[in-house]
Structure 1
């Protein structure tokens, strides 16, 4: 991801696992909310807007993810990746498989809308 992406906002961050970790090259660095919660939100942006062909998510204990893109004029969000279950109930209960990596591409599950510059 490098310097082309930046964090615009997040719902919460742990004092140890800061939100800026998501845009760092080191994949072992993670972002976590301050307290376990049902929902967490992270807003990333690029300048200039870029098309997205592939998204890689390294899970750090989340059970579900969704991905939205904002129209370039900032007026509306569009769903780019519908809800994906990344941990089973058994994984959550046993605290296992917390660091799986998931890659989504346009032909696979990522919406073709993602290929438009946002």
Structure 2
């Protein structure tokens, strides 16, 4: 039996979250952009020292979906904050995503982040 882990990919819209996930799962890069509505998840089982099933959640980055964060963030074991390195303000906005996750997720201590 494998241990389940919930992994979130969060960040601004058009930051490459779906492409990042697709690259990890299929070892292919798909440059076409298609906005994620709400959230989408897929599972992948890997073996480290034990079998682990990653439930990888790709979340929408558009502002209108940010209120859904609480539902998606709850129970997360890991989070990846994606950002577009070609967008000057994107790195600064990762702090906002970090704060959202810390306030809406199940973190009992921010140092666990």
TM class by smaller structure: 0.3 to 0.5
What is the TM-score with the length of structure 2 in the denominator?
0.34
**Larger RCO, structures 1/2 (Cα 8 Å, 6+ apart):** 2
* TM-score, length basis structure 1: 0.33
